[in-house]
């Protein structure tokens, strides 16, 4: 599982206090390929314990998959102040796990992510999920949090490198 | 600076994305004494860098002062969603620094902190600050973020142990 100097492993994170999605892609030149994705469930402990689960979960993903950089969605809106506080804490825990491993954390607005993947900042979730699966040649069901995490990782590798790749990849099943 | 088995060092945290206050007290039986307090300024870097400064700053306080447990104010309200998201992330970073050192993180509502220190859940900031300085026999100016951090640490040691201590302490200057 060693990576060469020209290969980068990008971790995308979709933080949440109940579920935090993660997705790791490998980038070699203009080619992005799927490495791993999943959802960290924070369980029913105290809020501090749940933040710790996010922190240790993201740290474990970074170690297990030799991640070299990370990307996370900027958040500007939320349903209400309570959910903003919870989401903020989950996001802070995830970012600190990256910072603890000295990974640069890149932030992208939802609009920039949609623009990079679909070509329109107003794209809906289904369009984003479709493009994630198409770009990474994934078959089967991808959970929404994991799809969003892979989307921000892919957005980080820039939109204009992605489109040409869809046709050339072989289809593979989501492990 | 070694602590005995009967002595606990409690870290109180007043998180914020611009300034995070901290206060460390030593608790031996029913006696609480001042160890350290201050404010972590997060500077002008990216938000991720500022979270990292909170995380490493709190981790450094824990190491430097041999902290054995921690306390933080519960937050339920905020000016608006933007400030709630920022505060949430700062709080998440601070809590993760404690969790990283396997410290239990105790949470107290603002009302419970005021009740513990002043005897009234509706006390104002000046009354809380006055009681922090009185209980810990501190003279001089204590910055608001540091006073709030010491207040939550003291609240953690319970209100009913504190009142009797004020008269018996000698006055000392804030270092």
Q: What is the ipTM of this complex?
A: 0.75
pLDDT tens track for A157-172: 875 465 445 555 666 6
Contact B120, B147 (CB under 8 A): no
Pair of tokens at residue A104:
């640069």
Phi, psi angles (nearest 5°) of residue A24: -115, 130
User: In this model, does residue A175 exceed pLDDT 70?
Assistant: no
- Residue from A48, A53, A83 to probe the interface with B (highest B Cβ count within 10 Å): A48
pLDDT band for A35, please (50, 70, 90 cuts): very high
Q: Provide the percentage of residues in chain A whose pLDDT is more than 70.
A: 86
Rounded distance, CA A46 to CA A41, Å? 13
**B36 in A contact zone (CB under 8 Å):** no
Among left, alpha and beta (phi > 0; psi -120 to 50; other), residue B58 is alpha
Consecutive sets of 10 residues in chain B, 175 residues long: mean pLDDT of each?
70 95 93 95 87 92 95 81 89 88 85 90 91 92 93 82 56 66
CA distances from A134 to A41, A119, A137, A170, B34 (A): 26, 14, 5, 10, 60
Fold held by A7-173:
Nucleotidyltransferase; domain 5 (3.30.420)
User: In this model, does residue A75 exceed pLDDT 90?
Assistant: no
Would you state the pLDDT for residue A161? 60
SS3 B124: coil
Residue carrying structure tokens 């820039």: A158
Query: Which residue, B107, B29, B37, is CA-closest to B67?
Result: B37
Rounded distance, CA B108 to CA B89, Å? 18
CA-based nearest residue in chain A for residue B56: A100
- Residue from B20, B45, B48 to probe the interface with A (highest A Cβ count within 10 Å): B48
More confident residue, B149 or A140: B149
Rounded distance, CA B13 to CA B167, Å? 26
Q: Find the length of chain A.
A: 175
* Active-site residue, B102 included: no
* Active-site residue, B73 included: yes
Distance from CA of A108 to the nearest CA of B (A): 12
Would you say the C-alpha torsion B49, B51, B54, B59 has a positive or negative sign?
negative
More confident residue, A82 or A130: A130
More confident residue, B3 or A68: A68
Of B49, B78, B89, which has the smallest distance from its Cβ to A92's Cβ? B89
H-run or E-run covering B132: helix B125-135
Residues 6 or more apart in contact with residue A130 via CB below 8 angstroms? none
Lowest mean pLDDT among A97-111, A121-135, B1-15, B31-45: B1-15
Question: What's the whole-number mean pLDDT along residues A47-76?
Answer: 91
Rounded distance, CA B105 to CA B96, Å? 9
Strand locations in A84-142 (E): 105-108, 138-139
pLDDT tens track for A146-159: 999 999 999 998 75
**A59 in B contact zone (CB under 8 Å):** no
Residue carrying structure tokens 């319970």: B158
CB-based burial, A19-39: b 16+ in 10 Å, e otherwise: bbbbbbbbbeeebbebbbbbb
More confident residue, B106 or A13: A13
Pair of tokens at residue A83:
């959910």
**A51 in B contact zone (CB under 8 Å):** yes
Rounded distance, CA A102 to CA B93, Å? 15
């Amino acid at each position: 599982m060693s990576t060469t100097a020209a290969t980068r492993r990008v971790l995308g994170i979709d933080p949440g206090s109940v579920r935090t999605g993660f997705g790791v892609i490998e980038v070699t030149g203009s080619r992005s390929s799927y490495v791993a994705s999943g959802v960290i469930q924070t369980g029913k402990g105290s809020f501090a314990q749940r933040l710790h689960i996010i922190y240790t979960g993201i740290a474990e993903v970074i170690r297990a998959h030799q991640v070299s950089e990370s990307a996370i969605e900027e958040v500007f809106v939320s349903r209400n102040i309570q959910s903003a506080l919870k989401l903020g804490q989950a996001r802070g825990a995830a970012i600190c796990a990256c910072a603890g491993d000295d990974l640069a954390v890149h932030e992208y607005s939802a609009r920039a992510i949609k623009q990079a993947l679909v070509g329109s900042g107003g794209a809906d979730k289904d369009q984003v999920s479709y493009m994630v699966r198409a770009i990474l040649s994934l078959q089967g069901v991808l959970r929404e949090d994991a799809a969003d995490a892979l989307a921000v990782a892919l957005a980080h590798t820039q939109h204009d490198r992605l489109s040409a790749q869809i046709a050339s990849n072989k289809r593979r099943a989501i492990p």
